Structure 1
């Protein structure tokens, strides 16, 4: 394929995968970010009835809240090509992870269960049914699991020669789907049970073999759950009930797993408990400085490590509650997480003031100045993920986190969000003009933003990735005398005519790999 092919304004970079609906490409967005673009098979896209369903179902999918999903960002028709744009999620799918590393266990399995239940609650809350929840539709991002392709299976319904009974993947279909009965959200709950059983044991709960044999077992036989962790086995059994009415709803799944908390808070629980270090379970038988800048079930294989990040300190109580509900749901070790109460610099400087504000940290920046503060911790040697949640409470400046910094030289990579909703990655050094490595590019404006930055040495370059409110917005490399590990922290900058005041609610530093 021509690497310069542009569909709907999105420049296709490389093929990510193929499926029954079409092909998925990694693409550059019109603003320079990254997205996943699904191109629908032309034979489908030329069908007027399909086009009507496409518009209707995409409109519904765009209403789905972003919690633990890869949200639909855009869609349209470009000539005879129908395309669907979703957030690009960097990471393996669940099938790949289980195949290469074996079953999940402990906190990762339980975080997976919570994450997919959170996604289903958001999907069903928008009136959408996934209909094809399976391992390849669950991507394991650095921030936790993300469900993709929700609502898309319905596009080949109705007037298509494909029957309702064949929509979905046989191993994860519900009994009512097998019988060709109307599909409700309960079918997604059944698929959730099958997914968690598969993730925790490495086996399909109704076995493998010919599709007809598997479908018969789904309707008539009990699932095989031996070896599944006790912390999730009971709720998985209820989700796999043959009777639709006996299954919990997605919201009830979530309530049982984490005590009925809000979706946003449940999403933070997932991020906090998701280590991203997918270590195979055992094989089972049977189966502090101040800176002020100038103005402006398989054989074991070699283990892979996936980067991970955590939510802010506001999720602590929820994480504890989840641990009480699910045995073994314990947060990973914390190299550093700020409560801001100790060792963060406070007081006035030429650029402005820093002060503690309850459990938070507040920076007030004079007009035309930039203020940055170091956390009282050194970065890990092989790469770092820095995260923070903040609100611009006054003024029209920008704020964010930084990594690979030095208080002495003022070197740092800044990851910022402006009050107008523009994101950027800038390489800075005191006494010089900052070099923009990415942006500015627009993101949806919100009152508070959670910013996650990843800085990892990659040969002679440093790879920089940025997430805003769980969405990957940028991925760039710096090979021009790149900065190395040092300090990390927070920053804020004001506009030219009025001061800016930013309150940071949380801050954390984590290793970007398992080293």
Structure 2
């Protein structure tokens, strides 16, 4: 275990939900504490020094910048669990690695050599491959940022130096460690991935000799050697490794190999040789490692792997600095031109083949939604649904009058029947089961969520929470192994008001529920939704004009926060795209544009769709959205692409008063 010393006078006892038990270390950036999460897992909590960021806005910029590392795959890095601000100071929570730093081991035990040095080189450069593939630069790679854990070397603190450099009050000071800085940094140029390779080469020399290659005396002397002198590489016995390290320490950034090239050479792959035809990073290795990565200790064991059919999302929370995170979404879309012309009779509760006239603005056939092949007039309403067997989503239930009347689709048919047993009802992707919220508490005062077998009609009743807490908006996890409900609590003597309470996770196999009480006062005004990987749930956190999306693990620990997104928009179905990689909101400052964002990290919107709407259906597929827009005296739901071009109509609702109180639940794949 790294040296642990007791907390000092003035040290915090807690940072947010993490209880601090001792000090692990202290440096120029701040102090690192050993902490304990609400689930009992040990974590490392780094609290930055006061004054490292200028003000509240700079602090949020720092947190957002650090959040870019969320995209880093967990290869030989310490998984970062969350980041935020506590009493005006940024903090970063990461996986606790039970092992000393490379600097401490070499200082106490002596240099590494032979296979030990080669393993260290492979492990650390693999970490840089993952970091660089995510578009992140470490900027402070050095022996003290390499931990020697029981399962190999782990690189820590990637991306922090860059974030500090952009937001620090120390604007005249270059942020970094003198002995491991590059000539271009000393010349005032930006440090890119090649700077990390220079620092990696210098770190390998330290590991092999016990000394940095450019000395440890005064910074001016060190800087002079970095710019003008070549390092002594004679202690590196392996000629291939010696040659690689020498190239990494090239004064010209363009002469250094990439991390991917270096890894290929360390593995003896010809594609890593100078001038070879395949200089790219070994993506196969990363893909295999991502799928095989062991579960993070804060995550429950079940439902850990990437969701079936969601290969587009390969990152895991904890893979990098977790300030970013996925958001609520869905979108209402505009249809240019006239709606499809329906030919022939439409019967309530029945279907007939229909034809559609060509749309004045058709989506190209190669990428657009299929034409509707039937129309369904929904019982008890003015709603008509237009669908095709080739649609990726299908209406499975709808409710009217704020869930007072629920209609459920019969398995394998287009008939909808009234259901008086439940308030809300959502079907899984295979169509075999549904999650449904009960209309009343049971005799012991528990609110009930049922797992309904749609083939047999039997239901397993799961007690969620006692009166006055109740569940709403059931959702299936991406892999179908768990359910999610948002929890509210009835308050007031007349029981006419509710307040946010938290959420519950339902294990479908065991028919057990875990209730999570969310303590953050700014969370839960909007419902909770699954993140694309199924390892976390998110909700909007709203404080005055500040709006962000916060993600929690399945036991209630804060994992990530998306700061730089738009504003909430009502969504009836999926909040996140089928691949798990995209989300939608209103664009900042307007409700007349829809923005599409990456769930991996904060950044610029991927697309801006000019469209004014109040409600979304959600995602049609990864390249199209579906939602409602006003049309004449009623409303219609349409499909739209990322350029704003509309496809066909999915549904119409003729009565505005009815539309205001209706809820349509589409299911993907059923």
* DSSP 3-state at the match of 1:42: coil
- For residues 324-343 of structure 1, the aligned pairs below 5 Å read none
Alpha-carbon distance in 1 for matches of 2:290, 2:154:
10
Q: In structure 2, do the counterparts of structure 1 residues 238 and 175 end up closer, same or farther at CA, with 3 Å as the change threshold?
A: same
What is the alpha-carbon distance in structure 2 between the residues aligned to residue 68 and residue 396 of structure 1?
Answer: 37
> Where in structure 2 are the equivalents of 1:99-118 lying within 5 Å?
99-118=107-126
Question: For residues 195-274 of structure 1, what are the structure 2 equivalents within 5 Å?
Answer: 195-230=203-238, 231-259=240-268, 262-263=285-286
Match of 1:92 among 81, 91, 100: 100
Q: 1:240 to 1:46 in 2, by over 3 A?
A: closer
Match 2:69 to one of 53, 57, 61? 61
Q: Deviations over 1:371-419 (max 9, x none)?
A: xxxxxxxxxxxxxxxxxxxxxxx9999xxxxxxxxxxxxxxxxxxxxx9
1:170 aligns with 2:178: yes
Paired residue for 1:414? none
- Contact 1:3 / 1:14 at 8 angstroms: preserved in 2? no
Pairwise CA RMSD: 3.2
The residue aligned with 1:182 is 190
In structure 1, the residue corresponding to 2:32 is in which secondary structure? strand
Provide closer, same or farther for how the CA distance between residues 420 and 207 of structure 1 changes in structure 2, counting only shifts above 3 A.
closer
What is the aligned partner in structure 2 of residue 134 from structure 1?
142
Deviation at 1:42, TM superposition (A): 2.6
For the 8 Å contact 1:258–1:266, the answer to whether it is kept is no
- Distance in 1 between the 2:12 and 2:183 partners? 45
Q: Give a deviation string over 1:240-285, Cα, whole Å, max 9, x none.
A: 111111100111111111256613667999x9xxxxxxxxxxxxxx
- SS for the counterpart of 2:28 is coil
**Higher alpha-carbon Rg:** 2
Deviation at 1:55, TM superposition (A): 2.3
Q: CA deviation at 1:110?
A: 0.6
Aligned twin of 2:162 = 154
Q: CA contact under 8 A between 1:206 and 1:224: conserved in structure 2?
A: no
* Structure 2 counterpart SS, 1:43: coil
- Kept in 1, the 8 Å contact 2:99–2:150? The answer is yes
Alpha-carbon deviation of 1:184?
0.9
Report the CA distance shift for 1:88/1:268 in structure 2 as closer, same or farther (over 3 A). same
**Structure 1: 4+ residue segments shifted above 6 A:** 266-269, 394-397, 439-444
Q: What is the aligned partner in structure 2 of residue 52 from structure 1?
A: 60
Counterpart position of 2:306: none
8 Å contact 2:52–2:169 — kept in the other structure?
Answer: no
State how far apart, in whole Å, the 2-side matches of 1:125 and 1:193 are: 19
Change (3 A) 1:443 1:8: closer
Structure 1 residues 316-343: Cα deviation after superposition (integer angstroms, max 9, x where no partner): xxxxxxxxxxxxxxxxxxxxxxxxxxxx
Give the Å deviation of 1:5.
1.4
8 Å contact kept, 1:40–1:81: yes
Question: Residue 235 of structure 1: SS of its match in structure 2?
Answer: helix
Aligned partners of 2:19 and 2:37 also within 8 Å: yes
Report deviation, 1:210: 1.1
State the shift of 1:420 in Å: 9.1
More helix by share: 1
Alpha-carbon distance change, 443 to 111 in structure 1, aligned in 2, over 3 angstroms: farther
Aligned length: 284
Q: How far off is 1:57 after superposition? A: 1.5
SS across alignment from 2:71: coil
Q: Write the distance in 2 (CA, Å) between the matches of 1:147 and 1:46.
A: 28
Task: Tell me how far apart the structure 1 counterparts of residues 172 and 128 of structure 2 sit (CA, whole Å).
Answer: 21
* Contact map agreement 1:4 1:13 (CA 8 A) in 2: no
TM-aligned CA distance change 1:250 to 1:420, over 3 Å: closer
- Structure 2 unaligned runs (5+)? 1-8, 270-283, 295-508, 513-533, 537-553, 560-670
- SS state at 2:33 partner: strand
Aligned partner of 2:629 in structure 1 is none
Taking the TM superposition and a 5 Å limit, the aligned residue runs for 1:282-321 are none
> Kindly tell me: are residues 7 and 176 of structure 1, through their superposed partners in 2, closer, same or farther at Cα, counting changes over 3 Å?
same
Inter-CA distance 28–79: structure 2 relative to 1 (3 Å threshold): same
- TM-score of the aligned structures, taking structure 2 as reference length: 0.39
Q: 1:110 to 1:20 in 2, by over 3 A?
A: same
State the alpha-carbon separation in 1 of the partners of residues 190 and 165 from structure 2.
Answer: 12
Secondary structure at 2:51 match in 1: helix
- Corresponding residue SS for 1:145: strand
TM-score w.r.t. length of structure 1: 0.51
Q: Tell me the CA shift for residue 78 of structure 1.
A: 2.2
Matched-pair contact (CA < 8 Å) for 1:3–1:12: no
CA distance in 2, matches of 1:163, 1:177: 14
TM-aligned CA deviation for residue 147 of structure 1: 0.6
Please tell me whether the aligned partners of residues 29 and 49 of structure 2 are also in contact (alpha carbons under 8 angstroms): yes
**For residues 10 and 169 of structure 2, what CA distance do their matches in structure 1 show?**
33
CA offsets per residue over residues 201-221 of structure 1, 9 Å max, x none?
222212232111111111111
Encode CA deviations 1:331-373: one digit per residue, 9 max, x unaligned: xxxxxxxxxxxxxxxxxxxxxxxxxxxxxxxxxxxxxxxxxxx
Task: Show the counterpart of 1:77.
Answer: 85
CA distance change for structure 1 residues 205 and 15 in 2, over 3 Å: closer, same or farther?
same
Deviation at 1:16, TM superposition (A): 0.7
In structure 2, relative to structure 1, the CA distance for the partners of 1:4 and 1:151 (3 Å cut) is closer
Shift of 1:139: 0.5
Q: Structure 1 residues 164, 126: CA separation in 2 closer, same or farther (over 3 Å shift)?
A: farther
Secondary structure of 2:208 counterpart: helix
Partners of 1:50 and 1:155 within 8 A in 2: no
* Aligned: 1:10 with 2:18: yes
Report if the CA contact (8 A) 1:176-1:183 is conserved: yes
